[in-house]
Amino acid sequence: MKFAFPSRGIGAVSAVLVISAVNPAPGLAQEPIDSLRLEVQRLAALVDSLSSEVERLRSQGLDEEADDALARLRDAAASAAAAGGGTDPEAPAENPQFVGRQRSLQQLNPEISLNADVFAHVNPDDADADNFFPREFELSLQSALDPFSRAALFISRHGEGPEVVPFGGELGHGHGGEEGPEGEEEPHGGGGFEVEEGYVEWVSLPGGLGLKLGKFFQRMTTLNRWHAHALPFQSRSLPHLAFMGEESLSQTGASVTWLAPFGGGASGTYEATVEVTRSENESLFGESTRPSVLGHINAFWQLSPSIDVEVGGAWLNGSFEAPDAFFDRNVYSVEAAFNWIPPSRSRRTGLTVRGGYMVLSGLEADDPALAGSGSVGGLWTMAELRLSNNWLVGARFDRVESPIEPDVSQWLFSPTITWWQSEFVRLRAEYDVLSAFEAEPSTGMFVLQATFAMGPHRHATY
Angle between helices 10-22 and 63-83 in degrees, nearest 10: 30
**What is the average pLDDT across 254-268?**
87
Which helix (H) or strand (E) segment holds residue 44: the answer is: helix 33-59
Decide which of 280 and 24 is more confident. 280
Q: Comparing 215-224, 334-343, 361-370, which segment has the lowest mean pLDDT?
A: 361-370
**pLDDT at res. 392:** 97
Task: Label residue 171 by pLDDT band (50, 70, 90).
Answer: very low
Name the fold adopted by 108-454: Porin (2.40.160)
Contact 331, 220 (CB under 8 A): yes
User: For the segment 102-130, what is each residue's pLDDT rounded down to a tens digit?
Assistant: 555 667 788 999 999 998 887 766 666 67
Decide which of 275 and 265 is more confident. 275
**Is residue 89's pLDDT more than 90?**
no
**pLDDT at res. 352:** 97
**pLDDT at res. 165:** 81
Contact 140, 152 (CB under 8 A): yes
Task: Label residue 159 by pLDDT band (50, 70, 90).
Answer: confident
**What is the average pLDDT across 262-266?**
76
**pLDDT at res. 76:** 67
**What is the average pLDDT across 252-256?**
97
**What is the average pLDDT across 193-220?**
94
Task: Give the Å distances, CA to CA, from 38 to 17, 135, 363.
Answer: 15, 55, 66
Decide which of 25 and 436 is more confident. 436
Q: Which long-range contacts does 169-177 make (Cβ < 8 Å, 24+ apart)?
A: 170/125, 170/126, 170/443, 171/123, 171/125, 171/432, 171/434, 171/443, 171/444, 171/445, 172/121, 172/123, 172/125, 172/126, 172/129, 172/443, 172/445, 173/126, 173/129, 174/246, 175/246
The CA-based dihedral angle spanning residues 156, 334, 278, 246, taken in that order and rounded to the nearest 10 degrees: 30
Rounded to whole angstroms, how far apart are CA atoms 404 and 366?
A: 10
**What is the average pLDDT across 381-407?**
94
Domain boundaries, the chain: 7-83, 108-454
**What is the average pLDDT across 28-37?**
52
3-state secondary structure of 317: strand
Decide which of 346 and 9 is more confident. 346
**pLDDT at res. 187:** 40
Contact 224, 298 (CB under 8 A): no
Decide which of 78 and 81 is more confident. 78
Decide which of 203 and 360 is more confident. 360
Give me the chain's average pLDDT, please: 80
**pLDDT at res. 126:** 66
Model pTM?
A: 0.72
Task: Give the Å distances, CA to CA, from 279 to 198, 294, 318, 321, 333.
Answer: 16, 11, 7, 10, 18
**Is residue 375's pLDDT more than 70?**
yes
3-state secondary structure of 53: helix
**pLDDT at res. 12:** 44
**What is the average pLDDT across 85-104?**
53
Question: Of 273, 251, 247, 250, which is closest to residue 260 (Cα–Cα)?
Answer: 273
Task: Label residue 91 by pLDDT band (50, 70, 90).
Answer: low
| Other beta carbons less than 10 A from residue 300's beta carbon | 17
**Is residue 19's pLDDT more than 90?**
no
Share of the chain above pLDDT 70, in %: 72
**Is residue 180's pLDDT more than 50?**
no
**Is residue 361's pLDDT more than 70?**
yes
Q: Comparing 66-75, 133-142, 345-354, 422-431, which segment has the lowest mean pLDDT?
A: 66-75
**Phi, psi (rounded to 5 degrees) for 72:** -65, -35
